Amino acid sequence: MKSVLPIGFGVALLAVWEAAIRAFDVPVYIMPGPLAIAGALGANFGDLMAGLWITLEVTAAALALAATSGAAFAVLLVQSRRLESTLFPYAVILQVTPIVTIAPFVIIWVEDIMAVLLILAWMAAVFPVLSNTLLGLKAADPNLRDLFRLYGATRAQTTLRLLVPSALPYFLGGLRISGGLALIGTVVAEMVAGTSGTRSGLASRLVEASYRLELPLAFACFVLLSAAGVAIYVGLDALSRRILRKWQDGSVA
């Protein structure tokens, strides 16, 4: 029943959309209907899937880099409050700075366009992992900290056996957020960098289609990117639930 209602609403919305397009005779270069978009998707399916694959390659690489570097940096910062107060503000600055303002400099400094896309997507995705993991590391039970200290545990032992396990749910929560941000960062980077040719991602093809006023094709690109974003979130959510299945009931819920 939970899936029937949203699916039914979506089908009704598409029907109303198509009916309105036909009733008001809206030109396809202004607003295409769902049937025109589906036709463009079918006619260009192979080419669009090739572009989507390139976009997902960059997204996956950026997410993996964000997960490892963000978690490692959080473990580094939790070792010293002075170090955290010194470096964490720069991570915040990196997060709040729009990618489009940094992209021109990265494009000048880095020759490989795929490396440019990876850097920009990583910048968009790393902060949620960093901030959530850092929060989880600092949220470890103080009584357990005292117990570790009482038994003479080293800082490395305390970090690996207490802080890191305590931060796992927080890390996975940040990873779910970063998955969508990695895709968004890749899409924005492709649009700004202006990639073209056989190695261009789906966002570049969306921009090209919109410039040529091929709105059905542009909407088809949009549909595939949206579906990819949903799939990334669902996949990471399923991974998180699987890992936390035996963690605690509250984390799984």
CATH code, 169: 1.10.3720.10
Indicate whether 25 belongs to any domain: no
Q: For residues 197-221, b (16+ Cβ closer than 10 Å) or e, as one string?
A: eeebbbbbbbbbbeeeebbbbbbbb
Tokens describing residue 58: 């960059």
Is the pLDDT score of 64 beyond 80?
yes
State the pLDDT at residue 252. Answer: 43
User: Which residues are CB-neighbours of 205 under 8 A, at least 6 positions away?
Assistant: 47, 48, 51, 217, 221
Q: Is residue 70 part of a domain?
A: yes
Specify if 134 maps to a domain.
Answer: yes
pLDDT (mean) for 62-91: 94
Q: Output the pLDDT for position 250.
A: 47
Determine, yes or no, domain membership for 89: yes
**What's the token pair of residue 237?**
């959510």
pTM of the model: 0.89
Residue 247 domain-assigned (yes or no):
yes
Domain residues for the domain of 94 are 34-252
Residue 141 has pLDDT above 70, yes or no: yes
Residue 140 within any structural domain of the chain:
yes
Domain count within the chain: 1
In the structure encoding, which two tokens stand for residue 86, read together? 């010194």
For the chain, the 3-state helix, strand and coil shares in percent, each to the nearest 5, are 80, 0, 20
Tens digits of residue pLDDT in 186-223: 999 998 876 655 567 899 899 999 989 899 999 999 99
* pLDDT for residue 127 is more than 90: yes
Give the integer Cα–Cα distance in Å for 207 and 42.
19
